Amino acid sequence: MEFLVDHDDLENPLFELLCARISEYEKHAPEFKALNQHLEKTPPGVSVLRTLMDQYGLKAADLANELGSKSNVSNILNGRRALTVNHIKALTQRFKLPADAFIE
């Protein structure tokens, strides 16, 4: 897998086959059961937000302007609050993403 990626051979049918097999394994392997259940419960907008925070190295305080406060960010990430239309508008402006990236 690494060889195919390292050699930019992403069009190789073997790469596609391996990706499909890995995906299927991750869906059904007992080792991934708890993770998959957690991911199913996480709203897509929160998953996108977590990914963006990770990619940009952001903390809750860094998104306080967009989401109202540091505690709002924490509550959204922990599922105690939902993203509002205003939150989504602010996030789309900051990250230059379409709104549907944050909508279920």
Same domain, 59 and 75: yes
Q: What is the reported pTM?
A: 0.66
Residues 8 and 50 in one domain: no
pLDDT given for residue 33 in this prediction = 86
Do 12 and 50 belong together in one domain? no
Residues 34 and 49 in one domain: no
Torsion of CA 91, 93, 97, 100, to 10 degrees: 60
pLDDT at residue number 12: 76
pLDDT score of 9 more than 70: no
96 shares a domain with 47: yes
Shared domain check, 47 and 34: no
Residue 10, pLDDT above cutoff 70: no
Quote the number of domains for the chain.
Answer: 2
d(CA 84, CA 102): 10
Q: Do residues 52 and 95 lie in contact, with contact meaning Cβ atoms separated by under 8 Å?
A: yes
What does DSSP assign to residue 39?
A: H
| Exposed / middle / buried, residue 102 (Cβ in 10 Å: 0-12, 13-18, 19+) | buried
Instruction: Read off the pLDDT of residues 83-92 as tens digits, 9 standing for 90 and up.
Output: 999 999 999 9
User: Which domain CATH number covers 72?
Assistant: 1.10.260.40
Residue 7 reports pLDDT greater than 70? no
Q: What is the span of the domain harbouring residue 91?
A: 43-101
For the chain, the straight-line distance linking the first and the last C-alpha, in angstroms and rounded, comes to: 32
